[in-house]
Structure 1
Amino acid sequence: MSEQEIPRVSMSAAEIQAAHLVAAPKLNGQVTLREYDPRWPLVFEREAAQMRERLGRLEHRIEHVGSTSVPNLPAKPVIDMLLTIPDSAAETSYVPALQQLGFELVIREPDWYEHRVLRKYDLDPSADTANLHVLSAGCPEADRMLLFRDRLREHSGDRKLYGDTKRLLSQQTWQYVQNYADAKSEVVADILQQATSENSTDAGT
C-alpha cells in the first residue's frame, strides 16, 4: 500500500497505548458533549496567532478543524487544530517552539502519515484542552479533515446526521475516547464519499 493510501481503522487498546508517549488516559464512561459555543473559534484564533508567531519562518498552515469548528454542531469541549508543515516527522522544527506555548507532544504515529498530536491543557473556560494535529503539507489526511469540516459547515443534512450520531454514541460507555471516535468512522466515510462525489461532478461540469 502506498503512502498516499493509509486507511484509518479502529484501534485496539494496545495500539492506542503504543501511539501515546505517556499513558493514554482512559475514559471508562460516557463522552461529554456540549452545544456549540461561539467562543470556540475565538479560542482557536488566539492560540493560532501565538503559534504563528512562535513558528516564525517555518512554512506552515494552521486550521480550525473538528466539531468545534462547525457552528450548530455539538462537540466535546476540545479545540481541534491542524498544523501542516513541510515534514511532520521533523519534530525539532516545531515541537520546542510550541512547548513554549504550553503544548505537550503526546502522540506519535510514524506508520500513519507521520501524524503527531500536541495537547494543551487548561485552555479556556469554554474548552478544556486543545489537540493540535500535525501532518506534512500535501498529506491526504489533512485534505480529508478540511473537506469534512467544510462539508458539515455547508450542508445542514450531513451536519444533522453527524450530530445525531455523536449524541447517540456519547450515551454509550467507552474505554478510550478514541473508541468513540472510531465508532463514528462509518458515518464520516459516508459523508466524505458524498462530498467527494459532488465535488467531482461539479468539476466535470
Structure 2
Amino acid sequence: MPPMKDSSNSTPRTDEELQEVTVGELKPHNASITLLEYDPRWPKLFDREAKRIRSVLGNKALQVEHVGSTSVPGLCAKPIIDILLVVTDSADETTYVPDLEKVGYTLRIREPDWFEHRVFKGPDTDINLHVFSKGTSEIDRMLRFRDWLRANNSDRDNYARVKRKLAQHEWRQVQHYADAKSSIVQEIMKRANAT
C-alpha cells in the first residue's frame, strides 16, 4: 500500500518534486508495473528482514511490521516487501541510519514535510523499509489497511482488480502508479474506519 498523503500535503508528481525527496538519483521507470500472485514466501522474507533490523537496532526498533500488499494473503503485489519500522524520532537519523547502513540498508527517500518519513532499500532482498516516528498517524493507517484487507475478501479482491488494471499502464515513475491507487485506498479506508 502506498503511503497516503493527507489533503494538506499533495503527493509529489513531477520528476523535480520526486527528486527533492529522493536520496541519490531518481531513475525513471517508464514501464508497466509487474504484479505477481501472492507468494507464501513473502512472510518468510519479511521475517528475515525483521530479524536483521531488530538485531542491529535493538530496542531502538519500537515496532517492525509487514505491511503493504505482500503482507495480505491472496493479494497480488509487486514483489517488494514493505516493512514498517517505528523509531522514537525518524528525523533524528543519527540514532538509526548508521546502524542500518552498516548492515547494507540504503536510505533512498527523505520526506521531512510528511511525518518525517524515510525509506530504505534492503541489502539483498527487494524491500521498502518505511520509517516513522512513534505516534505518527500513518502507522495506524497502514496497519488498519493491512488488517482490513486480510479480513475482508471483497475489498481485497476489489483492490486487486484496480491494481491489475492500473499496472497495465506505462508509468514514468513507480510513485505515479502508487498515487493512482489513492482513490481505491481512500474508499477502502472509509469502510475500515467505520468499524
Q: 1:80-119 maps to which residues of 2 (within 5 A)? A: 80-119=82-121
- Tell me how far apart the structure 2 counterparts of residues 178 and 35 of structure 1 sit (CA, whole Å): 21
Q: TM-score, normalised on structure 1?
A: 0.89
- Structure 2 unaligned spans of 5+: none
The number of residues matched between the two structures is 189
Indicate which of 172, 180, 185 corresponds to 2:182: 185
Q: Identity across aligned pairs (percent)?
A: 49
Partner secondary structure for residue 115 of structure 2: coil
Q: Which has the larger radius of gyration?
A: 1
1:138-161 deviation per Cα after TM superposition (whole angstroms, max 9, x unaligned): 100111000000010000000001
The residue number in structure 2 matching 1:145 is 142
| Residue identity opposite 2:177 in structure 1 | Y
Change (3 A) 1:121 1:173: farther
Q: TM-score, normalised on structure 2?
A: 0.93
| 1:21 Cα deviation after fit | 1.0
- Tell me how far apart the structure 1 counterparts of residues 82 and 61 of structure 2 sit (CA, whole Å): 20
Instruction: Answer whether contact 1:10 1:179 (CA < 8 A) is retained.
Output: no
- Tell me how far apart the structure 1 counterparts of residues 123 and 169 of structure 2 sit (CA, whole Å): 25
Q: 1:1-205 maps to which residues of 2 (within 5 A)? A: 6-7=6-7, 9-13=10-14, 14-58=16-60, 60-123=62-125, 129-198=126-195
- Tell me how far apart the structure 1 counterparts of residues 109 and 62 of structure 2 sit (CA, whole Å): 20
**Which moves more between the two structures, 7-16 or 157-166?**
7-16
| Residue identity opposite 2:104 in structure 1 | G
Partner secondary structure for residue 24 of structure 1: coil
Aligned-residue Cα RMSD (Å) equals 1.3
